[in-house]
Amino acid sequence: MTIEDLGWTPTHAAKFAEYEAKGCLPGRVIAQRGMLVVATERGDVLATSSGRMRHDAESAGELPTVGDWVAIQVPPGGKQGRIQAVLPRKSAFSRKAAGRRTEDQVVAANVDVIFLLCGLDNDFNLRRVERYLAAAWESGAQPVLLLNKADLCDEPEARLAEVEAIAFGAPVHLLSAKKGDGVEAISPYLARGVTVALLGSSGVGKSTLINRLLGHQAQATLEVRAGDDRGRHTTTHREIFFAPSGALVIDTPGMREIQLWDAEEGTGTAFSDIEELARSCAFGDCAHESEPGCAVREAAERGELSVERLEGWRKLQKEAASLRTRSDALARRKDKGKIKAVEKSLRELYKRKY
pTM to 2 decimals?
0.83
Quickly count: other Cβ atoms within 10 Å of residue 236's Cβ. 10
Q: What is the pLDDT of residue 354?
A: 58
Q: Give the whole-number percent of the chain exceeding pLDDT 70.
A: 83
> What are the pLDDT digits (tens) for 106-126?
999 999 999 999 999 877 889
202 compared with 164, residue with greater pLDDT: 164
Amino acid at 19: Y
Element (H, E) at 314: helix 307-353
Q: What is the pLDDT of residue 226?
A: 46
**What does pLDDT average to over the chain?**
86
> What are the pLDDT digits (tens) for 256-286?
667 776 778 889 999 999 999 999 999 989 9
Q: What is the pLDDT of residue 203?
A: 86
**What are phi and psi for residue 62, nearest 5 degrees?**
-90, -10
CA distances, 223 to each of 70, 150, 181, 220 (Å): 37, 16, 19, 11
The three-state secondary structure class of 271 is: coil
197 compared with 253, residue with greater pLDDT: 197
Q: Is the pLDDT of residue 343 over 70?
A: no
Q: Is the pLDDT of residue 209 over 80?
A: yes
CATH level 2 (architecture), domain 92-251? 3-Layer(aba) Sandwich (3.40)
Give mean pLDDT, residues 150-170: 94
Q: Which of the given ranges, 217-221, 243-247, 329-333, has the highest pLDDT on average? A: 243-247
**Helix count and strand count (H, E) for the chain:** 9, 13
Q: What is the pLDDT of residue 236?
A: 59
User: Rounded to 5 degrees, what angle do the CA atoms 118, 120, 123 make?
Assistant: 80
CATH of 271-354, one of 1.10.3230.20, 3.30.1330.10, 3.40.50.1000, 1.10.40.50: 1.10.40.50
Q: Is the pLDDT of residue 207 over 50?
A: yes
DSSP state of 16: H
Q: What is the pLDDT of residue 62?
A: 92
Give mean pLDDT, residues 327-344: 56
Give mean pLDDT, residues 168-195: 95
Residue 23: left if φ>0, alpha if ψ -120 to 50, beta else—which one?
Answer: left
Tell me which CATH code domain 4-86 carries: 2.40.50.140
Domain boundaries, the chain: 4-86, 92-251, 271-354
Give mean pLDDT, residues 329-351: 58
Q: Is the pLDDT of residue 4 over 50?
A: yes
Q: What is the pLDDT of residue 231?
A: 47
Q: What is the pLDDT of residue 225?
A: 46
